[in-house]
Chain A
Amino acid sequence: MGIEQKAGDLGAVTMRLEQAVNWARTYAMWPMLFGLACCAIEMMAGQAAKHDMSRFGMELMRATPRQSDLMIISGRVTRKMAPVLRLLYDQMPEPKWVISMGDCASCGGVFNNYAIVQGVDEIMPVDVYVAGCPPRPEALVHGILTLHEKVRGETIKTWA
Chain B
Amino acid sequence: MNEEIQQAITALEERFSVEAEEFRGEINLTVAGEELVAVCQMLRDDFDFKFMEIMTAVDYWPEQEPRFHVIYKLYSIEKKLRIGLRVPVAGIEPKLPTVVDLFANANWREREIWDMFGIRFEGHPDLRRILMPHDWQGHPLRKDYPLGYEEVQFSFNAEEVDQDKPYAKE
Mark A residues whose CB is within 8 Å of B: 79-80, 107-108, 112-115, 118-119, 121-125
Contact = CB atoms under 8 A, between A and B. Distances in A.
A152 B133 CA distance: 41
A107 B161 CA distance: 12
Contacts of B145: 114
A120 to B, nearest CB: 9
Interface of B: 131-133, 140, 145-150, 152-153, 165-170
Among A108, A118, A121, max chain B CB count under 10 A is at A118
B157 to A, nearest CB: 14
Nearest to A98: B168
A68 B112 CA distance: 37
A118 B148 CA distance: 10
Given A114-B140, A121-B168, A122-B167, A108 B133 contact: no
Contacts of B133: 79-80
Contacts, number: 36
Contacts of A118: 149-150, 165
A119 B165 contact: yes
B153 A107 contact: yes
30 contacts: A79-B132, A79-B133, A80-B131, A80-B132, A80-B133, A108-B150, A112-B147, A112-B148, A112-B149, A112-B150, A112-B152, A113-B140, A113-B147, A113-B149, A114-B140, A114-B145, A114-B146, A115-B140, A118-B149, A118-B150, A118-B165, A121-B168, A122-B166, A122-B167, A122-B168, A123-B168, A124-B168, A125-B168, A125-B169, A125-B170
The DSSP consensus for interface residues of chain B is loop
A121 B166 CA distance: 8
Contacts of B150: 108, 112, 118
Contact of A122 (B152, B165, B170): B165
A103 to B, nearest CB: 12
Contacts of A115: 140
A125 B153 CA distance: 20
B60 to A, nearest CB: 20
Closest 8 CB pairs of A and B: A112-B148, A118-B150, A114-B140, A124-B168, A122-B166, A123-B168, A80-B133, A121-B167
A121 B170 CA distance: 10
Contacts of B148: 112-113
Nearest to B138: A114
Nearest to A83: B133
A149 B148 CA distance: 36
